[in-house]
Amino acid sequence: MNFALISLAVPLFAGLLLLLCGHALKTRTTGFLAIASTVVSLAAAWFALQTVANAGASIMLDLGGWETGLAIRLRLSSLSALLLLFTALMHLLIGLYAGFSRQGIARDFWHLSCFLHGSLAALWLSADLFNLYITLELLGLTAVAMVALSGKKAYRPAANYLILSLAASLFYLLGVALLYGRYGELDVLLLAPRTEADVITRLALLLMTTGLMLKAALWPLHLWLPAAHASAPTAVSALLSGLVVKGPLFILWVLWSEVAPPALAQQIGPVLGIAGMIALTAGGLSAMRSPYIKTLVAYSTVAQLGYALMALGLLLTWQLPQMHIALWLFVIAHGLAKASLFLAAGEMQSTLGTRRVDGLRGATQTVPVAMFAFAVAGGSLIGLPPSGGFLAKWVLLEPLLSEPGNWPWAIGVLLGTLVSAAYIFRVVALAFDRARINPPDTRTGRAGHWLALLPALMVWGMALSGEWLIQLLAGGGV
């Protein structure tokens, strides 16, 4: 457990340090310190994962020595350890990009990204509904501040994002208050055996679900996402799409698979599953029509979250462990692939001097590495073997196909695959246009292109560790 605490505390303190004395340091040093803290956090997360795998069960820790009920209780399960590792890895990859790409990044990015890392780590470890609220707010505020980093034109979308995020948190908080009023408990594990399917519980769960779905941009509450994610600086877009939306999704999972009484969970499951299927197609169609590169990638997030939502919905409906594995495999595979996609999109935008998809004509010649990164990451989103996306899709498909009654859900997966292929290859096909090439700006460096490729290669490498991941998620699921 101590390793998990290190993984949580190091980025938080690094963030504080950089905030307080950041102005005395060079931007380069700031970046170096932030990346170093991420590396330490990554190593700690790895050891935490080892610890929990050896223990074979979740490890609990009461902070501050208070008795249970008052203390801040942290829980390290194999899932949260894996997510800690994933978060640190994403921050490392994106931090490297932000530090070495020629596009440059505002100095404030560094301490904000440290805070974001810390609040996410706290979120994965929290086992208390109110703590989860606090981490959710921290996450939202940091994310808004990071969107605003791209300058004045992003203030309007940032303000809208903040207002919606606050409203969503209040939905969640009201739900928490109702649950506390009904049961007098906030701790997830103490609450879980006591919940009943009465009116107040239903109302509370409904309120919390609405708030969380709004925060995670799950269909139909996704409309704010494309504007916010597309207007942020490239590295921030990657963090937002790859990581931040997964936080509320995690809480949603905790809420329904642990807190809610199983009878209610079985009722909501199909609803979430259908919403996921609609998200897959509707988000994909919007991505197909989007005239701007970054908006296309942002809509693809809406679509891909549909897979996760579908897996969650079916997990609740059937209580199948495979769905749990599929859900988190989707989260990890999507995070890595989406980071690559956003970084590549940002690099291509700045090198080609255009925000439009049409501007990518001839990109295989002008920005070959970035375009390759885009295609490779896109391949994982489509779910081509042997990528991480394929692994997740396979685990999701297996239980769907084994019962003829479940086949309609498989059609949803089929549609999702085809639509993702359509919007990814819309871009890739344009890039092979040799007749009307958009000339590149040769002054920008190419380091960023290679760094954009790194997460994409990792998501394809994920397939090789597929068995390990599946066992890990199957062993310490709840």
Partner 1 sequence: MTLSWTTVLPVLIILSSLIPGLLIFATPETAARRRTILNLSGIFLKLILVGLMLAGVSQGLQFRFAIAFLPGAELVLQGDALALQFITLSSVLWLMTTVYAIGYLENSPLRSRFFGYFSLCVSATVGLALAGNMITFLLFYELLTLATFPLVVHRGTPEALRAGRIYLAYTLGGGTVLLMGIALLHSIAGTPDFVPGGYVTSLIEGNSLSLRIAFGLMIVGLGVKAALVPLHGWLPQAMVAPAPVSALLHAVAVVKAGAFGIIRVVYDVYGIEATTLLSLTRPLMWLAAVTIIFASIRALQQQDIKKRLAYSTVSQVSYITLGVSLVGPVAAVGAIVHLVHQGLMKVTLFFCAGNFAETLGIHKIQEMDGLGQRMPWSMAAFTVGALGMIGVPPIAGFISKWYLATGALEVNQDWVLLVLAGSALLNAAYFLPLIYRGWFRATPAGGWHENNFAGQRLETHWMLLLPPLVTALLSILVGIFAGSIFSPLGWSQFIVNREFGL
Partner 2 sequence: MSAIELYLTLGVAVFLLSLHGLMTLHDPIRRLIAVNLMGAGTFLVMVSLAKRSAVPDPVLHALVVTGLVVAISATAFALRLIIAASKHDEENSEDSEQP
Examine residue 57 and tell whether it contacts partner 1 (CB under 8 A).
Answer: no
Of 54 and 402, CB closest to partner 1? 402
Examine residue 159 and tell whether it contacts partner 2 (CB under 8 A).
Answer: yes
SS3 category, 62: strand
Residue-wise burial string across 148-185, b where 16 or more C-beta atoms lie within 10 A, e elsewhere:
bbbeeebeebbeebbebbeebbebbbbbbebbeebbeb
Strands, E, within 233-322: which ranges? none
- 3-state helix/strand/coil string of 28-63: HHHHHHHHHHHHHHHHHHHHHHHHHHHHCCCEEEEE
Q: Smallest gap, in angstroms, from Cβ of residue 367 to partner 1? A: 13
Structure tokens at 95: 């931090």
SS3 category, 438: coil
From candidates 35, 88, 148, 264, binder to partner 2 by CB under 8 A: 148
Q: Which of 36, 35, 43 is nearest to 99 (CA)?
A: 35
- Residues within window 343-372 making contact with partner 1, judged by CB under 8 A: 362, 364-365, 368
Q: Smallest gap, in angstroms, from Cβ of residue 86 to partner 1? A: 20
Out of partner 2, partner 1, none, what residue 391 binds, judged by CB under 5 to 8 A for its kind, is partner 1
From candidates 55, 57, 63, 170, binder to partner 2 by CB under 8 A: 170
- What is the rounded end-to-end Cα distance, in angstroms, of the chain? 17
Alpha helices in 70-198 (DSSP H): 78-100, 108-125, 129-147, 155-183, 188-191
Q: Smallest gap, in angstroms, from Cβ of residue 284 to partner 1? A: 14
Q: Which of 1, 192, 190 is nearest to 81 (CA)?
A: 1
Examine residue 155 and tell whether it contacts partner 2 (CB under 8 A).
Answer: yes
Do residues 287 and 300 touch, judged by C-beta distance below 8 A?
A: yes
From candidates 89, 145, 191, 336, binder to partner 2 by CB under 8 A: 145
Stretch that binds partner 1, among 61-69, 254-262, 330-338, 420-428 (CB under 8 A): 420-428
DSSP state of 405: G
Q: Which of 279, 276, 292, 303 is nearest to 355 (CA)?
A: 292
- In sign, the C-alpha dihedral spanning 172, 58, 319, 188 is negative
Contacts of 150 (CB under 8 A, 6+ apart): 231, 232, 233, 236
The values of phi and psi at residue 60, to 5°, are: -105, 150
From candidates 425, 446, 450, 475, binder to partner 1 by CB under 8 A: 425
Size, binding site for partner 1 by CB under 8 A:
34
Q: 409: part of which helix (H) or strand (E)?
A: helix 407-431
Q: Smallest gap, in angstroms, from Cβ of residue 296 to partner 1? A: 17
Structure tokens at 269: 């499951």
Stretch that binds partner 2, among 53-61, 114-122, 157-165, 310-318 (CB under 8 A): 157-165
Out of partner 2, partner 1, none, what residue 397 binds, judged by CB under 5 to 8 A for its kind, is partner 1
Of 152 and 436, CB closest to partner 2? 152
From candidates 129, 309, 352, 384, binder to partner 1 by CB under 8 A: 384
Stretch that binds partner 1, among 135-143, 298-306, 346-354, 417-425 (CB under 8 A): 417-425
Q: Smallest gap, in angstroms, from Cβ of residue 156 to partner 2? A: 4
From candidates 46, 47, 130, 183, binder to partner 2 by CB under 8 A: 130
Rounded CA separation 230/30 (Å): 26
Structure tokens at 266: 């079985």
Structure tokens at 371: 């375009």
Cβ atoms < 10 Å from Cβ of 130: 15
Q: What x-and-dash track marks residues 172-211 binding partner 2 by CB under 8 A? A: -xx-xxx-xx----x-------------------------
From candidates 397, 427, 452, 456, binder to partner 1 by CB under 8 A: 397
- Residues within window 96-115 making contact with partner 1, judged by CB under 8 A: none
- Max Cα distance, the chain (Å): 71
Examine residue 464 and tell whether it contacts partner 1 (CB under 8 A).
Answer: yes
Of 241 and 364, CB closest to partner 1? 364
Which residue's entry shows tokens 């994310």?
Answer: 143
Tell me the Cα Rg of the chain: 21
Out of partner 2, partner 1, none, what residue 435 binds, judged by CB under 5 to 8 A for its kind, is partner 1
Q: Smallest gap, in angstroms, from Cβ of residue 162 to partner 2? A: 5
| Binding stretches for partner 1 (CB under 8 A) | 362, 364-365, 368, 379, 382, 384-386, 391, 394, 397-398, 401-402, 404, 410, 414, 417-418, 421, 425, 428-430, 432-435, 463-464, 466-467, 470
| Binding stretches for partner 2 (CB under 8 A) | 70, 130, 134, 137, 141, 144-145, 148, 152-153, 155-156, 158-160, 162-163, 166-167, 169-170, 173-174, 176-178, 180-181, 186
